[in-house]
Chains A and B, each alone.
With several copies, the nearest count.
Chain A
Amino acid sequence: MRRSDFPELTRRIGDQPLTYLDSAATSLMPTPVLKVLQAFYATNYANVHRSVSTLGYEATNRYEEARQQVARWLHAGSDEIIFTAGCTDSLNLVAATWGRQHLHAGDEVVVSIMEHHSSLLPWQQLALQVGAKLRFIQLTPAGTLDLEQARTLFNAHTKVLVLTQVSNVLGCENPVGQLAKWAHAVGAIAVIDGAQAVPHLAVNVAALDCDFYAFSGHKLLAPTGIGVLYGKRVLLQQLPPYRYGGEMIADVSCETASWADGVQKFEAGTPNIIGAIGLAAALTYLTKIGWQRIWQHDQVLLQDLATRLAAIPGVTLYGSGPRYGVISFNLAGVHPHDLATVLDQLGVEVRAGHHCAEPLVHALGTESTVRASVFLYNDQTDCDRLISGIKTAKEFFHVT
């Protein structure tokens, strides 16, 4: 789909054409998004807020329009959308503000074993500091979250549910709405990591009724360095600031300071203006192509990959379908890094390792996996090249 919009796809790896199957790490940038950035730099670029000049006003408008666009797309209010440096930054913000305010000794955090380190660690470290306890939602043998067990974890001590909507290793979608209900029933909040969900699912934060929702732009055709944190209005109003600096204040004296209203309180210093413009341009680009079309396209490719991978003797697939964006597997007798090196020699770019989800990978009974991930610009040829690459690797390493 629109491969020609992605110039990087025409490059070669050594003497081989490129098959990019690592979009779950970072998606490529299409020319139309780059053109928007270029035009912005050439006409409206300036610092935002606090300026009486035309340029500053135009840049501020574009920045705030980007916020509104993100808000509409997530079904949130634009006073509930904080721009951050990325998903990791967003998730740290919640733990550093809401968490520090509300988590005390003896409290409990319900967290899935599937969490990315960026989702787990802010709460793990805070819990260690204050003497709170992490309670893990484990896997069923099928590699999905064990909801029976999960249900038993919520109690009067539970303060937070920390949950990834789509696993960056298994690709499964977790029942966020259901788990958020259980959290709310005991008075806890639900903090959702949407990094891998937003490119592959319709996200409606109002319908999910989650309290915080985080993602990164760079997995969604936008530049690096921009992320989003959705937070429920009433919660944001009660939070202390995250970082201190310019633009987030109402008034500053030598001794004390008061904070700006609304989301500005959380955006200290010059924000990543160009990142926000890029994120808006990426959403526009994806919307124009049609989200439904993109999701269906990704589903078809992944389904096909799953079937063909499962048919290769020695291949273990992790988790079970439906998968969103990513599929993880191992090949008996070949270490994931050796397999990834062979594939790389063939121009097929996958990822091998623990994918910043060590607890999950250990729960799957392994140290690392190979992960292939797809997005709108992948096609059947990419899948063919992956499958044939794995067969080549089997021959190369003499495994049967």
Chain B
Amino acid sequence: MLHDLRELYQAVILDHAAHPRNQGKLATATSDQLVHNPSCGDTIHLYLQVIQGRIAAIEFTGSGCTISQASASLLTTVIKGKTMQEALTLADHFSALAMGQAAPKAGLGDAVILTQVMQFPTRIKCATISWWALKQAILTEQEEEA
């Protein structure tokens, strides 16, 4: 009965939650986005440094459950170095997959494991919240540029 759970909470996920990558308050950030999940108190604050349309650096701070923290950590590893457009596409793909819809998995790396969260409808938001923050941050960045 814990089979589905094992698919979600794989070793790499537990590792990212316990030892988050790119944690910090990026001093050189060109935009940032704070999101909050009122239903559980999870918080993710994402910091992006965009240079010539490319996400040159990315960090996050926050607190919350395994899923939300691992998701943010994985996001940073996947997104670093991508163009804003690539990042937006990946964010859309991740969210779609996490909600059980069809979408390409290419480019998501280990983050794709977290799309198993679709088996746990009440936890989907934990996985998608940081990707949503990413999208908001990029849209803000683009608006400011325009």
Contacts and interface: CB of A to CB of B under 8 A. Distances in A.
B122 A250 contact: no
A113 interface: no
B123 interface: yes
B14 A398 contact: yes
B63 interface: yes
Nearest to A335: B65
Interface in B1-26: 1-2, 4-5, 9, 14
A260 B39 CA distance: 10
B38 to A, nearest CB: 5
Given A57-B121, A337-B126, A250 B14 contact: no
Nearest to B120: A341
B97 interface: no
Contacts of A341: 5, 120, 122-123
A26 interface: no
B2 A338 contact: no
Nearest to B122: A52
A231 to B, nearest CB: 21
A85 interface: no
A251 interface: yes
A249 interface: yes
B14 A397 contact: yes
A129 interface: no
Given A52-B123, A53-B122, A345 B9 contact: no
A334 to B, nearest CB: 8
A338 B120 CA distance: 11
Given A397-B9, A398-B14, A251 B38 contact: yes
A15 interface: yes
B68 to A, nearest CB: 8
Interface string B45-84: 0000000000000000001111100000000000000000
B103 interface: no
A354 interface: yes
Contact of B39 (A49, A346, A367, A397): A49
Interface string A21-65: 000000000000000000000000000011111101100000000
B121 A354 contact: no
Interface string B23-46: 000000000000010111110000
Given A52-B122, A337-B123, A342 B39 contact: no
Interface string B122-137: 1100100000000000
A345 B4 contact: yes
Please tell me the size bucket of the interface on B: 20 to 34
B18 to A, nearest CB: 9
Given A57-B122, A353-B39, A398-B14, A335 B64 contact: yes
Contacts of A14: 1
A78 B9 CA distance: 34
B5 A345 contact: yes
Contacts of A50: 39-40
Interface string A290-307: 000000000000000000
Contacts of A354: 41
Contact of A396 (B2, B41, B120, B121): B2
B20 to A, nearest CB: 13
Contacts of A51: 122
Interface in A1-25: 14-16
Contacts of B42: 337
A16 B1 contact: yes
Contacts of A165: none
Contacts of A15: 1
B39 A338 contact: no
Nearest to B18: A333
A332 B120 CA distance: 23
B5 A368 contact: no
Contacts of B2: 342, 345-346, 392, 396
Contact of A352 (B5, B40, B121): B40
Contact of A368 (B1, B14, B41, B66): B41
B127 to A, nearest CB: 12
B65 A260 contact: no
Given A16-B1, A397-B9, A397-B14, A338 B38 contact: no
A57 B1 CA distance: 19
A251 B36 CA distance: 9
A68 to B, nearest CB: 16
Nearest to B121: A57
Given A57-B122, A335-B65, 15 more contacts: A52-B122, A52-B123, A249-B38, A250-B38, A251-B36, A336-B65, A338-B65, A341-B5, A341-B120, A345-B2, A352-B40, A353-B40, A354-B41, A358-B41, A396-B2
| Nearest 7 A/B pairs, CB to CB | A335-B65, A337-B65, A52-B122, A367-B41, A50-B39, A250-B38, A338-B66
Interface of B: 1-2, 4-5, 9, 14, 36, 38-42, 63-67, 120-123, 126
